[in-house]
Structure 1
Amino acid sequence: RFFETCAEIARRAKVPVQFHFLVGQASGLVFPQVRNLVRRIVGDSVVVHKHQNYHNYMRVIAECDLFLNPFPFGNTNGIVDTVWAGLIGVCKTGREVHEHIDEGMFRRLGFPEWTIARTREDYVEAALRLIDDRSEREALTAKLAGPQAIEKLIFKGRPEILGERMLGLWNEKLDTAAWREQRASGAEILAPAEQARTAEDCLRRCQDALRRHPLRFDVAHGAAMLLMKWHLIDAVDTLWQQAVERQPEAREPRLYRFLHVIASGRLQEGFQLRLAAVKDWPWRRRTTAQPPSAYPAWTGQPLAGKRIVIWSEFGLGDEIFFLRFARILRERAGAASVTVLCQTPLKTLFAASGEANAVVAAEDSATLPEHDYWVYPHDIPAWLPLSLDALPTSVPYLRVPQEAGRYALPGRYGALKVGIVFRGEPNHENDRSRSLPGLSMLDPLFGHAEVDFYSLQKGSGAQEAAVHAAQRSNFYDIGVTAETMLDTARAVACLDLVITVDTSVAHLAGALGKPTWLLLPAYADWRWHYARDDSPWYPTVMLFRHPFRGGWGEVVTRLNGHLLARIAAREAGRAAAREAPRESATRGKGAGAPRRAGLTLPSSLP
């Protein structure tokens, strides 16, 4: 609602208003999506700035006249920066903790009471007052803003009051075993289960911990991870089912329950649980384009002779994964026509692949003709029965258009060509587990002189790839030149193998049918399921899982062994190919001799 509030302020202001949004960590492919979202809601009077260094960031702030503190989650650091730069502003207080902090900072700074809004309407009125009344704004700025105000905010008063109050609360508590138990972390509570020597003992100790702490999600999650180490899948199933029964409205137990059910291979059951869990999510949480209201969402109705549009949802990898359903909806469900609405970087590639009857970029969703139904891709398996062991044949379902041409890979003729992606987007919720600590983890692979390696890394990790390219003669950084998803697809098509962590490149390579070795964290995304080293979704993908006990080094050792075997098989194949012409020639000489011996020569020859 903050964006909508800004749009209202711009409409009602008596003077033209230009908003400057300084978005942290917005770069690469993420930035255009953020920029387009802000512009679509707020309007054209917006400048959205990429993530930048602090000097440039403060320069932009200093050129503004006032600041609007975002809600409902506030912006504590932003208040410090904007007030230091000499700006007065507006905040909104409310139920969120950060809103209370903002309110407290405004009061400590001495800002007028009317700048602390309690409702959205008050917020709009306060902003308009600062915008329209220049003399009042400048007077407040001169009196209350600037470095001296921050000195007062941070360095005046008695911060030890907090410590004194906390000590008092502590002394009020009795140091009993029950109190120590309640204060214990999830790891401390589960320490006995962590030390179990057998699966049965681990299960018993986890169940004991859950009986003592039935409402602690950290205990339930930790217990599930321990049970997974022992491959006690049924016990994990029971754990999450009971967690949901105890707290039916809590988000986390429902989330982990449906993820577990899907990862276990019970697709339709899991996706139906997912559908129930996310049904109240606002559309902006799932997509950048508002779904249509002129025709209904598909909820399993017969599709024979009908037109349906698969709506854009979540990340690029998600959309690549679910593109397969365009064909499935036609062939399995009888749809007459399937349109795919996708993020802009994927449009050209999706259109060239021919899986959908039409492909439209999400930013052009207003141009879509009316269909009979629309559907979020994650909702399709909730209504379309699928068996994990008998998925429809679909790979490859991405194809590089012929007119795009081959990607001009550098390197040596005849070398095994291997693509590398070692890190995902840092703001991904599981990036700490899915990404490698650094590119140097793969150095044992890079020592093979018979192989040329090509970094497809974008964003985070690109600098490491550049350093490796400068240091190693068989390592090339092509991520810097692959500007579009189509460029990346062209490059992947020219490779012999792709080694990647769980990013959109894994889905791109898998959908192209390219041999791919995928490095996975111990607890991986639902798409890769449990305890298997192949993917039913991508037949050319081989899975290398991080052990529950151990580190990435063990995974790299296994990778290296497979790479050595691939190199050896390649050399054996070449040797056989070189030997084949010699054997053919030898057979040719032997076969010709008897025929010459059987010739009858005329007696007239000399």
Structure 2
Amino acid sequence: MKKNLPTKVYVQARTILALMLLTAITLHKELQSLPTDTPQQQYDLLLEQAQKCIKQKLFDQAINSLSQALTLMPNKKELLPILAYAYYSKNDSESAWLTYQKAAQAFPNRADIHFNTGFLARLLGKFEQAFPEFKKVIELDPSYNKAREQLGYTYLTLGRLQEGWAQFRYLDRRDPSIDNAHRLYDIDPKGKTIMVKDIGGYGDLFQFIRHAEELKKRGAHIIFYARPEIIPLLSRCPFFDQIVSQKEPVPEFDYYTNIAKMREDLDISIETISCSTPYIHPDPMLIKKWANAFTGDTQFKIGISWQAQMYVDEKTGQPILCSRSISAEQIKKLVREFPFISFYSLQKNADCSTLAIHKNFHTFDDSFDKINGRFMDTAAVMKNLDLVITIDTSIAHLAGALGVPVWTMLRKFPDWRWFIEREDSPWYPTMRLFRQPKEGDWNTIIQNIINELPLFIIKEQAAH
């Protein structure tokens, strides 16, 4: 090209091309700086992204998209409940609660939003802030039974038991499946046959059969309608006149209740919780058998349970610990700290390999609690131990009902039955409670136990 054009023309052409390129680049930059969509279109795109992320359980990305959408269009308050759900799903309950509070202000007549706000307040231990939310739900929708149930549990957690039972009795009267004509509300049980049905978990069973003693004191004839596998363990409970297997026909009765409803029927308060302890009595022959088995172990003996039911992670399909459980690695610190203490696992179906490397850690064989019956060996072993250390599980309630020394390790905000802040338990005079200072902090509890154990051992040895 250069050979066929004069030099001046060639330079001009090059200059024009350079200007054209510069213009194109500038225009491209300007176009990039301009919004490609209207605010509404950008909002719609962000919302679509958030919904896809929630379905895929990518909650961090969902929160980011929803936050951008709210920044873009602050008046779109309907995004707040979705954002709160995303926070809760990624286990950020504090942010979820704060977001639901904003949603409740934006939508004061939405019962579901007030319920979620109250539920999270209770979950976070903000009990006084939970009350008005649940009451608002009931005001908006009197048929919202879950709100009344949660209101009841909030009262119970604070030790206001009779106010809590009142909420549950209200629900019972509205339930057509419950024959309230034969419930124990406001009746004199003297001379009446009362059937108590066994329901719920084993921990509930061990804890709440205590209330049958009050019925017994009032002159009732008590029939316990029990799961067959638990009858051998409870056969020596002094509160029952008769125990019938649930594999048998329902016996005749005048009034009935169950493990969960008995406490409501009797309108139990903190002051009337106590009962004669122990009230579960293991087989004396099994107690003797395990005493003989332990004769070779002259060390201080502790039974230990650290794991509740496992759950499956929805994303990975892998088993995960529930929030009441402690990892074996954390328990290992305790076992390793005291080589002069014998630790006996009261754990079922747990991997003990991490702990088994320590010579002072012991397990039982596969026949344990199988040949003699459910919890039969566990109860007899506990009567031969110096202390039980456990998380919030049936082991804690069994130890308490047996009247043996037991230290129970609790989450920051545990189940209502442990109330708040107490180090003792009105349910069990031989129990001491160790609470997390903050949610998830098991290390502090383990360290507190390490600090307290030597003092406890000295005290026990002096007493004997």
Q: Which residue of 2 aligns with 1:482?
A: 369
Q: State the shift of 1:513 in Å.
A: 0.3
The counterpart of 1:302, out of the listed 185, 188, 191, is 188
User: Aligned to 2:224, what secondary structure does the other structure show?
Assistant: strand
Change in Cα spacing, 1:354 to 1:561, as seen in structure 2 (3 Å) is same
Change in Cα spacing, 1:546 to 1:209, as seen in structure 2 (3 Å) is farther
| Counterpart contact for 1:500–1:518, Cα < 8 Å | yes
Q: State the shift of 1:398 in Å.
A: 0.7
- AA aligned to 1:177 is P
Q: Which residue of 1 aligns with 2:258?
A: 376
| Counterpart contact for 2:345–2:364, Cα < 8 Å | yes
**What is the CA deviation profile of residues 79-131 of structure 1, one whole-angstrom value per residue up to 9, with x for unaligned ones?**
xxxxxxxxxxxxxxxxxxxxxxxxxxxxxxxxxxxxxxxxxxxxxxxxxxxxx
The counterpart of 2:346, out of the listed 432, 436, 456, is 456
- AA aligned to 1:242 is K
- AA aligned to 1:378 is A
Change in Cα spacing, 1:166 to 1:389, as seen in structure 2 (3 Å) is same
| Pair 1:352-2:246 in alignment | no
The counterpart of 1:443, out of the listed 320, 332, 335, is 332
Equivalent-residue separation in structure 2 for 1:352 and 1:443 (angstroms) = 36
Structure 2: which 5+ runs fail to align? Answer: 1-44, 53-64, 313-319
Q: Which residue of 1 aligns with 2:206?
A: 320
TM-score computed with the length of structure 1 as normaliser: 0.56
Q: Which residue of 2 aligns with 1:566?
A: 456
Q: Which residue of 2 aligns with 1:224?
A: 122
| Pair 1:541-2:434 in alignment | no
Equivalent-residue separation in structure 1 for 2:415 and 2:295 (angstroms) = 34
Q: State the shift of 1:388 in Å.
A: 0.4
Q: State the shift of 1:296 in Å.
A: 2.9
| Counterpart contact for 1:418–1:496, Cα < 8 Å | yes
Change in Cα spacing, 1:387 to 1:566, as seen in structure 2 (3 Å) is same
| Counterpart contact for 1:259–1:270, Cα < 8 Å | yes
The counterpart of 1:246, out of the listed 140, 152, 174, is 140
**What is the CA deviation profile of residues 470-494 of structure 1, one whole-angstrom value per residue up to 9, with x for unaligned ones?**
3111111127423231111111111
Change in Cα spacing, 1:169 to 1:515, as seen in structure 2 (3 Å) is closer
Change in Cα spacing, 1:245 to 1:187, as seen in structure 2 (3 Å) is farther
Q: Which residue of 1 aligns with 2:39?
A: none
Q: Which residue of 2 aligns with 1:178?
A: 75
| Pair 1:361-2:245 in alignment | yes
Equivalent-residue separation in structure 1 for 2:187 and 2:310 (angstroms) = 40
| Counterpart contact for 1:186–1:222, Cα < 8 Å | no
| Counterpart contact for 2:277–2:403, Cα < 8 Å | yes
- AA aligned to 1:371 is F
Change in Cα spacing, 1:176 to 1:321, as seen in structure 2 (3 Å) is same
| Counterpart contact for 1:411–1:474, Cα < 8 Å | no
**What is the CA deviation profile of residues 36-65 of structure 1, one whole-angstrom value per residue up to 9, with x for unaligned ones?**
xxxxxxxxxxxxxxxxxxxxxxxxxxxxxx
Equivalent-residue separation in structure 1 for 2:81 and 2:250 (angstroms) = 57
Q: Which residue of 2 aligns with 1:334?
A: 219
Equivalent-residue separation in structure 2 for 1:348 and 1:268 (angstroms) = 33
- Give the number of equivalent residue pairs: 381
Q: Which residue of 2 aligns with 1:93?
A: none
Equivalent-residue separation in structure 2 for 1:457 and 1:192 (angstroms) = 31
Q: Which residue of 2 aligns with 1:270?
A: 164
Change in Cα spacing, 1:511 to 1:439, as seen in structure 2 (3 Å) is same
**What is the CA deviation profile of residues 282-334 of structure 1, one whole-angstrom value per residue up to 9, with x for unaligned ones?**
97xxxxxxx999x9333332111111111111111111112112221011x33
Equivalent-residue separation in structure 1 for 2:416 and 2:287 (angstroms) = 35
| Counterpart contact for 2:80–2:102, Cα < 8 Å | no
User: Aligned to 1:375, what secondary structure does the other structure show?
Assistant: strand
Q: Which has the higher contact order (CA 8 A, sep 6+)?
A: 2
- AA aligned to 1:313 is I
Change in Cα spacing, 1:508 to 1:169, as seen in structure 2 (3 Å) is closer
Change in Cα spacing, 1:411 to 1:206, as seen in structure 2 (3 Å) is farther
**Equivalent runs, 1:527-538 vs 2, <5 Å:** 527-538=417-428
Structure 1: which 5+ runs fail to align? Answer: 1-162, 196-201, 284-290, 578-606
- AA aligned to 1:263 is T
Q: Which residue of 2 aligns with 1:38?
A: none
Equivalent-residue separation in structure 2 for 1:282 and 1:410 (angstroms) = 54
Q: State the shift of 1:243 in Å.
A: 3.4
TM-score computed with the length of structure 2 as normaliser: 0.72
| Counterpart contact for 1:521–1:545, Cα < 8 Å | yes
User: Aligned to 1:532, what secondary structure does the other structure show?
Assistant: coil
**What is the CA deviation profile of residues 319-351 of structure 1, one whole-angstrom value per residue up to 9, with x for unaligned ones?**
1112112221011x331x111112222211211
Change in Cα spacing, 1:167 to 1:537, as seen in structure 2 (3 Å) is closer
| Pair 1:499-2:389 in alignment | yes
Q: State the shift of 1:560 in Å.
A: 1.4
**What is the CA deviation profile of residues 254-292 of structure 1, one whole-angstrom value per residue up to 9, with x for unaligned ones?**
332111111222222212312333566697xxxxxxx99
Change in Cα spacing, 1:292 to 1:489, as seen in structure 2 (3 Å) is farther
Change in Cα spacing, 1:280 to 1:316, as seen in structure 2 (3 Å) is farther
- AA aligned to 1:222 is L
Equivalent-residue separation in structure 2 for 1:168 and 1:568 (angstroms) = 59
